[in-house]
Amino acid sequence: MFGLKTTYDQSVYPYGVLPGAGLDEIFFRPVTILYGGNGSGKSTALNVIAEKLRLERSSAYNRSRFFESFTDSCSASLEEAVPPGSRIITSDDVFDMMLGIRSVNEGIYTRRETLEEDYFRLKREHFQLRNLDDLEQLKRVNLARSRTLSKFMKSESKQTLRERSNGESALMYFQSRIRPDTLCLLDEPENSLSPENQVRLADFLEESARYCGNQLVISTHSPFLLALEGAKIIDLDDGSRIVDSWTELKNARIYYEFFKTHAKEFEGGK
Give, in order, the Cα–Cα distances in Å from 6 to each of 2, 3, 46, 149, 210. Answer: 13, 9, 16, 66, 34
For residue range 10-56, list pLDDT tens digits in order.
666 777 777 677 888 889 999 999 999 888 889 889 999 999 999 99
For residue range 95-151, list pLDDT tens digits in order.
777 665 555 555 555 556 676 777 777 767 766 666 656 677 777 777 777 777 666
Distance, in Å, from the CA atom of 98 to the CA atom of 117, rounded to the nearest integer, reads 29
User: What is residue 62's predicted lDDT score, i.e. its pLDDT?
Assistant: 64
For residue range 64-80, list pLDDT tens digits in order.
677 888 888 888 888 88
Domains (range + CATH), the chain? 2-92+167-266 (3.40.50), 94-156 (no CATH)
Query: Which residues fall within 8 angstroms of residue 146, CB to CB, at 6 or more apart?
Result: none
Question: Which is it for strands 31-35 and 75-76: parallel, antiparallel or unpaired?
Answer: unpaired
